[in-house]
Structure 1
Amino acid sequence: MEFKQGKAQKKLLLIDVDCGTDDAQAIMMAIACPDVEILGITCVGGNTDLENVCRNVLRVLKLCGRLDIPVFRGSSTAILGQNIHASDFHGVDGLGDVPDANAPGLELIQKEHAVDAMKKFACEYPGQISLVATGPLTNLALTVKMDPTFPQKLHSLYIMGGNMESRGNTTACGEFNFVADPEAAYIVLNDYLCPTYIATWEFACRHKFTWEWYDKWVNMGTKKSDFIKKIYAHSLQFSRTEKEEKAIVGGPGFVSCDSYAMAAAIDGSTVTKVIECAVTVEITGKFTRGMMVLDLIDDLKKQNKAFVITECDMEKFKALMESTVLGD
């Protein structure tokens, strides 16, 4: 089964990130694709605090020679203000705690707020933009509350987040992006009526790369492969241990979660199988707060269904990943 976007010469992307290591990888993937035009990148607090997120995005753009892409500061806190972070995994700065003294400064961040920028782009390019969200969904939730017509101006929405089997990576039943702001995830999954594709935690874990492939990938000798190797070194202390590999879904291997959603947005043919059903988010459960719910029996009676991705073409995905680190 192939899921294709429109016939436009270039696919227009708006990317919303909480720029940790896998967000950086996803941004680099989009930049490497000649058929994609990135209109802007909006930032949200999540893997690290908002100021670090902004710095990290600028750092990635400089590496790729694309500081012309505008970057917008968004929400620093969850809707209810109960923030969590992932500094233990991604590093305190979100990029493995390997600072760059020559990184761009925050003066390059646009003055316009992320929410205003998202609304503006949607009005300028109605029905053409694919919005890719790889962090907590706070900015998206605020945007639809300020402009309820925003989702219908989008071509499609691609989310990395949530889960489909109640397997968690932050709580027993919750994936980080949704647990970081359950109310925002609830709003987005209920108010965004555009075609919505979701790359869940379990899906990503079941489509890992071997560590042998990873070692070749980060040792290609380019500036970009060197950068990926440096920023991932911190997290690999956890993800490459025997204890973690036994605990994680799908066994050992390298997983760059956000890249799965980005790959689907760039090339719909990477998606080979989905579950089409209504989805929502548990926001009140003691143990299940932030867990994504798949309504497989149509109990919610929702007309709008999401496409929960379950399988992808790994050869095509691998090619997109490898293109990320080519060239300087």
Structure 2
Amino acid sequence: MTVPVILDCDPGHDDAFNILLAAAHPRIELLAITTVAGNQTLEKTTLNARRICAVAGIRDVPIAAGRDRPLHGPRRTAADIHGESGLDGPGFGTGEPVVPQDPRDALALIRETLLAHRAPVTLVPTGPLTNIAALLLAHPDLVGRIERIVLMGGSTGRGNTTPAAEFNVLCDPEAADVVFRSGLPVTMFGLNATHQVRATPAVIARIAALGTPLSRLCVELLTYFASTYREVYGFDAPPLHDPLTVAHLINPSLVSLVRAAVTVELNGTHTRGATVVDLHGVTGRPADVEVGMEVDAEAFWDLIVEAVRVLGTPSG
């Protein structure tokens, strides 16, 4: 059976590969893509989603722009990691992508897609959770149309934007709090899991060996991504965070999961945006979130390489 999915994202290099994986794999029914401000401004993340769909031949998935700032507090971006465009590295040119932007806003597209689909839909947010929180606050009647939320964000340990907080959650802690307290089934893939899937030179060589225009673009994306992760964090290879969400939906055995209570810190002087993950049940709160732990990195990269191959092959 296929898994009907709406991607909510802020492309972003790793988001780009998540779009490719969701569009390429037959187990995923990609219904819509919505964008949010995060890795770059909303205008840029929306353009980037259209660019990726255009170069990959993804023509039948609507793309709508969502919120351009968090529910509360100032907007932040990650230009130090993703560049001024949000997808620095390849040359996309200056023309408009052939894939258009849907005239609806993200919340309207999500709402109409949920209502129109024959079965509940899985929401896959891989950026700040602003759009998803806004949807839940504005349309609580839609909860029954949502199968689950599978997100990239947070960590069981330390952060990457502050010592305590991961970027997506820190961008809008109040939105993350709404999502984690929504009562919906939530699966969280945080830095503790995503740092296990790094795009090593051997991985990049596998993609380069495909020898297609799409594979060359993917190599350019990963090469740039590697350079910023090396400069900012000292990593020898960059972690491809976001595709772990869709990879899990394709192959649920790819990541081991534990159940835990997860709380978002909203007020800490040094810890705002931290995800407090109660792995040992010491708080007594319900263990109502699935948390990704150990990853089969080889199986993950097999999925990514195959997605680039499929979408890069004219008959694919």
Q: TM-score, normalised to structure 2's length?
A: 0.91
Question: Contact conserved, 1:42 with 1:72, CA < 8 A, in 2?
Answer: yes
- The structure 2 residue matched to 1:42, chosen from 8, 11, 34, is 34
**1:242–1:125 distance in 2 versus 1, CA, 3 Å:** closer
- Asked if 2 retains the 8 angstrom alpha-carbon contact of 1:163 and 1:200, the reply is yes
1:164 aligns with 2:156: yes
Q: Supply the distance in 2 between the matched residues of 1:209 and 1:98 (Cα, whole angstroms).
A: 17
Cα distance in 1 for partners of 2:32, 2:232 equals 39
User: 8 Å contact 1:95–1:232 — kept in the other structure?
Assistant: no
What is the identity, as a one-letter code, of the residue corresponding to 1:135?
G
1:100-119 matches, cutoff 5 A: 100-101=92-93, 103-105=95-97, 108-119=100-111
Which 10-residue stretch deviates more, 68-77 or 234-243? 234-243
User: 1:311 offset after TM fit, Å?
Assistant: 1.5
Alignment of 1:44-123 (within 5 A): 44-96=36-88, 98-101=90-93, 103-105=95-97, 108-123=100-115
Q: Does 1:267 align with 2:251?
A: yes
Partner of 1:6 in structure 2? none
Which residue of 192, 206, 231 maps to 2:221?
231
1:8-42 deviation line (CA, Å, top 9, x unaligned) = x3221100000101000110011110222211000
**How far apart, in 1, do the equivalents of 2:18 and 2:140 lie?**
28
| Of 293, 296, 299, the match for 2:283 | 299
SS in structure 2 of the partner of residue 41 of structure 1: strand
Task: Give the gaps of 5 or more residues in structure 1.
Answer: 1-8, 246-251
State the 1:209 CA deviation. 4.7
3-state DSSP class of the match of 1:214? Answer: helix
Matching of residue 319 in structure 1 with residue 309 in structure 2: no
SS state at 2:181 partner: helix
What is the CA distance between 1:186 and its match in structure 2?
A: 0.8
Cα offset for 1:126?
6.1
Q: Separation in 1 of the partners of 2:232 and 2:266?
A: 33
Quote how far apart the aligned CAs of 1:84 are.
0.7
Q: Which amino acid in structure 2 is aligned with residue 179 of structure 1?
A: L
Give the alignment partner of residue 265 of structure 2, picking from 260, 282, 288: 282
1:290 and 1:11 mapped to 2: Cα distance? 30
- Secondary structure of the equivalent of 2:292? strand
Matched letter for residue 149 of structure 1: D
Spell out the pairing of 1:9-20 with structure 2 (5 A cutoff).
9-20=1-12
**Structure 1 residues 247-270: Cα deviation after superposition (integer angstroms, max 9, x where no partner):** xxxxx4342100111211232232
Q: CA deviation at 1:103?
A: 5.0
Question: Is this contact kept in 1: 2:33–2:62, CA < 8 A?
Answer: yes
Cα distance in 2 for partners of 1:127, 1:286 equals 43
1:150 Cα deviation (Å)?
2.7
Q: Provide Cα deviations, 1:83-103, integer angstroms capped at 9, x if missing partner.
A: 110111111111015442265
- Structure 2: tracts of 5 or more residues without a match: none
Shift in alpha-carbon separation, 1:29–1:107, aligned structure 2, 3 A: closer
Contact 1:56–1:95 at 8 Å: present in 2 too?
A: yes
One-letter code aligned to 1:176: F
Listed as ranges, the matches of 1:137-176 within 5 Å are: 137-165=129-157, 167-176=158-167
Question: Which range is displaced more, 87-96 or 118-127?
Answer: 118-127
Return 255-264 or 123-132, whichever deviates more: 123-132
Runs of 4+ residues over 4 Å off in structure 1 = none
- How many Å apart are 1:107 and its aligned residue? 8.7
Deviates more, 1:147-156 or 1:79-88: 147-156
Normalised to the residue count of structure 1, the TM-score between the two structures is 0.88
Deviation at 1:280, TM superposition (A): 1.6
Q: Please give the secondary structure, in 1, of the residue aligned with 2:198.
A: coil
Q: 204, 214, 225: which one pairs with 2:204? A: 214
Distance 2:75 2:234 in 1: 25
The alignment covers a number of residue pairs equal to 310
Which one-letter code corresponds to 2:174 in the other structure? E
